Structure 1
Amino acid sequence: MVVLPIGRPRLHTIIGGKVTRAAASSQPAGPASSPPAAGAFSQPAGPASSPPAAQASPPPAAGTSSPPAAGTSSQPAAGTSSPPTGPASSQAAERASPPPAGTSSQRATGALRELILRGDLAAGARLGEVELADRLGVSRTPVREALARLAAEGLVELVPNRGARVSRWTVDELRAVFDLRVQLEPALTELAASRATPEDVTALRQLARAMLAAGSPGPHQDLDAIVTLNRQFHARLVSIADQPAMASALAGAVHPPIVLRNFHTYDDESLHRSLAHHLEIVAAISAGDPVWAGAVMTAHIRNARAVMLAAAPA
């Protein structure tokens, strides 16, 4: 059977070599009744005994539009704007969609946090939105949101009518922070020592050795690399301990004042002592000795406390 697009209201069919006029009711309802696109042509539908194309077509899948009538092109008519449907088109639309609105804000927050933690922005430095937007390559709105987030973390101070600036920590404030650390971190380290897997020990050892190499005196010393590796080392210990409440309490204490230019404040002797502590903590964990690991972490924190308090403004 061949369907010829001879007229808009009715279809003509060829049966046994004769042209007959099909009834109007045989047309499919809905979009299939639209005229074929310009240039569309009919194709043989097989032997004459085959059932009409309208009856042979399977029902459309749920959520999709009805298929076009047999013999018409599957492409939409020229000039039409009907959007594609179905899972494939949904995936394509998802891939083509712009990134979430929060992406620029998150990127600005991470970049500004690193600038502060590395010491590129000194304590007390003014943080102008326009200057930061130019430096970070974003608009002022993500910068404003980043400043609000970092203020919640304690890295930035928002001063009414004066804008934002990098936080400064007094001796009393740092002393309180280290007092909290010395209560939490040794306990978390002891828990980590009792739960660490061989893979954890290997990862911690690699981080400790990398810090030792980056901190060796000489032209290749890289204090910025130590700051990043140190954060990864301590974060790994906290993750192994698996104590969310203690980890949350510790995050508020460690992140703002300690990593903030921490290793840039050390002299050679205190830096060597701190790096050696990391290796000894790994040795204690490898030996399965939580008490030893916790004791070394206590010494590690007190070493950092002495250095930071000596360098802090009164």
Structure 2
Amino acid sequence: MDALRPVGRTLLRDQAYEALRDAIVRGDLAPGSVVKDADLAERLGLSRAPVREALARLADEGLVETKPQSYTRVTRLVSRVVRDAAAVVRVMHELATRTGVPLLGPEGIRAMREANVRFAAAVRSADVEAALRADDELHQVLVSASGNHAVAATIDRYTPLLRRVERRLFGDTGACGSAALHDRLIAACAAGDTDEAVRVTTEIWRALEELADDAADVTAVRGRVPQPL
């Protein structure tokens, strides 16, 4: 919780949501941790109202769970839930790729290559934050090119849940995915080979689905050790 900092006074509900979401994704608020709106509001420098709204949104997105008049706590990683979310995100990226590849110009290909250079460098230096950021930037090129706002919104909706898996496992293993897979994706995009680009996209995101069980196992082990706010 020390990573939570007071936020500005504009768009308080959204800022509270973003701060709490990021704290959950980073693991500052550990799976299974009980959270209290009064405590969170104090730490964020906000009133309780925007924090409650933020918690309601996080509950809707599966990052916290509530029992009326009892508790609100950060959800534990459950393999089935992660697999379901990963499957949805995979399909959305497949659609973005199929739609976006024909619309990519030289600037888009260049942006993907530059993002992959940053990704590979971050992997070599074990910089999980930078690797995840570069990975997002690479795939966002295709999402943006597709112009499909529903796809973008769905990916945004479920990515935080998946990011908990990526951060936890990447932190344990030092692995942040494969730059080689990105190279194959970029080559297919540059060649205008939509079918191959979709196949590689499927391979990339199916790998995340397969991490679900391992993530649940890691969480179960860590959950035996109390983790304070």
Partner of 1:302: 206
Check if 1:214 corresponds to 2:122. yes
Conserved? CA contact 1:119–1:261, under 8 Å: no
Specify the code of the residue in structure 1 equivalent to 2:89: R
Structure exhibiting the larger radius of gyration computed from Cα positions: 1
Q: Identify which of 270, 281, 284 aligns with 2:188.
A: 284
Check if 1:195 corresponds to 2:103. yes
Conserved? CA contact 1:209–1:279, under 8 Å: no
Assess, with a 3 A threshold, how the Cα gap between structure 1 residues 159 and 228 changes in structure 2: closer, same or farther. Answer: farther
Runs of at least 5 residues in structure 1 that lack an aligned partner in the other structure? 1-99
Partner of 1:205: 113
Check if 1:182 corresponds to 2:90. yes
Q: Identify which of 33, 44, 48 aligns with 1:136.
A: 44
- Kindly provide the CA deviation profile for residues 49-96 of structure 1, in whole angstroms up to 9, marking residues without a partner as x: xxxxxxxxxxxxxxxxxxxxxxxxxxxxxxxxxxxxxxxxxxxxxxxx
- SS of 2:176's equivalent? helix
Conserved? CA contact 1:155–1:167, under 8 Å: yes
Q: Tell me how far apart the structure 1 counterparts of residues 128 and 154 of structure 2 sit (CA, whole Å).
A: 27
Q: Tell me how far apart the structure 2 counterparts of residues 131 and 204 of structure 1 sit (CA, whole Å).
A: 42
Check if 1:241 corresponds to 2:149. no
Q: Using CA pairs below 8 Å that are at least 6 residues apart, which structure has the higher relative contact order?
A: 2
Q: Tell me how far apart the structure 2 counterparts of residues 287 and 165 of structure 1 sit (CA, whole Å).
A: 48
Q: Identify which of 130, 151, 169 aligns with 1:225.
A: 130
| More helix as a share of residues | 2
- Which contiguous aligned blocks of 4+ residues in structure 1 show a shift greater than 6 angstroms? none
Assess, with a 3 A threshold, how the Cα gap between structure 1 residues 310 and 284 changes in structure 2: closer, same or farther. Answer: same
Check if 1:260 corresponds to 2:168. no
Instruction: Give the fraction of aligned pairs with identical amino acids, expressed as a percent.
Output: 33
Q: Tell me how far apart the structure 1 counterparts of residues 186 and 29 of structure 2 sit (CA, whole Å).
A: 33
- Kindly provide the CA deviation profile for residues 16-40 of structure 1, in whole angstroms up to 9, marking residues without a partner as x: xxxxxxxxxxxxxxxxxxxxxxxxx
Conserved? CA contact 1:127–1:166, under 8 Å: yes
- SS of 2:182's equivalent? helix
Q: Tell me how far apart the structure 2 counterparts of residues 307 and 231 of structure 1 sit (CA, whole Å).
A: 18
Q: Tell me how far apart the structure 1 counterparts of residues 110 and 42 of structure 2 sit (CA, whole Å).
A: 42
TM-score normalised over the length of structure 1 = 0.59
Cα deviation for residue 193 of structure 1 reads: 1.4
Partner of 2:224: none
Aligned residues: 210
Assess, with a 3 A threshold, how the Cα gap between structure 1 residues 181 and 159 changes in structure 2: closer, same or farther. Answer: same
Q: Identify which of 160, 165, 170 aligns with 2:78.
A: 170
Conserved? CA contact 1:238–1:247, under 8 Å: yes
Specify the code of the residue in structure 1 equivalent to 2:88: L
Cα deviation for residue 261 of structure 1 reads: 4.1
Conserved? CA contact 1:153–1:255, under 8 Å: no
RMSD: 2.6
Assess, with a 3 A threshold, how the Cα gap between structure 1 residues 263 and 175 changes in structure 2: closer, same or farther. Answer: same
Partner of 2:54: 146
Conserved? CA contact 2:23–2:29, under 8 Å: yes
TM-score normalised over the length of structure 2 = 0.79
Assess, with a 3 A threshold, how the Cα gap between structure 1 residues 245 and 104 changes in structure 2: closer, same or farther. Answer: closer
Moved more, 296-305 or 232-241: 232-241
Conserved? CA contact 1:193–1:290, under 8 Å: yes
Conserved? CA contact 1:130–1:140, under 8 Å: yes
- Kindly provide the CA deviation profile for residues 90-136 of structure 1, in whole angstroms up to 9, marking residues without a partner as x: xxxxxxxxxx9752222221111111122222222222223222322
1:71-82 map, 5 Å: none
Q: Tell me how far apart the structure 2 counterparts of residues 202 and 246 of structure 1 sit (CA, whole Å).
A: 23
Specify the code of the residue in structure 1 equivalent to 2:159: H
Assess, with a 3 A threshold, how the Cα gap between structure 1 residues 231 and 128 changes in structure 2: closer, same or farther. Answer: farther
